[in-house]
Amino acid sequence: MMKKTLSRVLIVAMALGMLVMFAACGNPGNGGNGGDVGDDGGSETLICGVTIYEPMNFQDDEGNWTGFDTEFAQLVGEKLGMEVKFQEIKWENKYSELESGAINCIWNGFTANSSDDGKKRSELVDFSYSYMLNQQCVVVKADRAGEFASEDDLVGKTAAAESGSAGESFATDAIGDSGTLITSTSQISTLTEVKSGAVDCAVIDILLALEKAGSGDYADLAIADITLDSEVYAIGFQKGSELTEKVNQAIQELYDEGKLEELAEKYGLENSLQLDTSFAG
């Protein structure tokens, strides 16, 4: 009789142990935002969705992530006591990656005052303070730059843009029904399309264009003299995420300490750095 009672006790104890283990493994972290939950209810890991985009996020010769946004995220992580990881994504999948919890945020030169599929991006994500000025620009073969003096010159052209980008939205409207749009998986690959002659022009972020056009492999490319509307970069979080407020506080501290300015100077972006704490998308 005692043996049977002891066996039942052992079985119950093992079952309780299994339940505890499954509960621990099944915790999605931060409301399913892709990180482990810390004692304060916040995520111990900040997973940033990125693409290759110099000078914001790119990899060095050893494969380590670097760039302004990369180091910016790491500084914020230090402030919040969080480990920062970078997950390369397809830009067109940025919202689904965020909603699935594969990433905690979109931190990759994310143009905040733009739209996707007719919806303002601020309707799709919560944005941090905006921290950098940007604009779209048109990149062409240098020997054809004279052909592109205004937006009207883009009508009917074949243009390349990154799928899901602000550049795609602008290019679609600019070339009109008589034009052809070719989408790429990254902004940098659109420059290859221009260089090869497959397209007349590419529409990309000016910060990338300034880094690449006219030098190195893209020495034969130039930024057309077409001035487009100003944009701003901000960090995108899931709607209602507690991370937004925490990151904003860290951004403000880094700005007040002069560390953001130092980082911007490191990457030649000091003239583009502009913190707007009133920005809400």
* Residues 142, 221 share a domain: yes
pLDDT tens string 73-93 = 999 999 999 999 999 999 999
Please say which residue of 199, 214, 230 terminates a domain.
Answer: 230
Q: What is the pLDDT of residue 281?
A: 72
Read off the tokens for 123.
Answer: 């309707």
Q: What is the mean pLDDT of the chain?
A: 88
- The three-class DSSP label of residue 95 is helix
- 180 alpha carbon, distance to own chain's centre: 26
**Residue 5 maps to a domain:** no
**Residue 29 maps to a domain:** no
* Residues 238, 194 share a domain: no
CB under 8 Å to 107, separation ≥6 — which residues?
48, 49, 50, 57, 69, 72, 73, 235, 236
pLDDT tens string 123-132 = 999 999 999 9
Q: What's the pTM value of the predicted model, to 2 decimals?
A: 0.78
* Residues 214, 185 share a domain: yes
Q: What is the pLDDT of residue 39?
A: 35
The domain total for the chain is 2
**Residue 10 maps to a domain:** no
* Residues 210, 241 share a domain: no
* Residues 271, 155 share a domain: no
Read off the tokens for 86.
Answer: 């970078």
Show the domain range for 82. 45-129+234-276
Give the CATH number for residue 71: 3.40.190.10
* Residues 189, 73 share a domain: no
**Rounded CA gap, 222 and 78, in Å?**
39
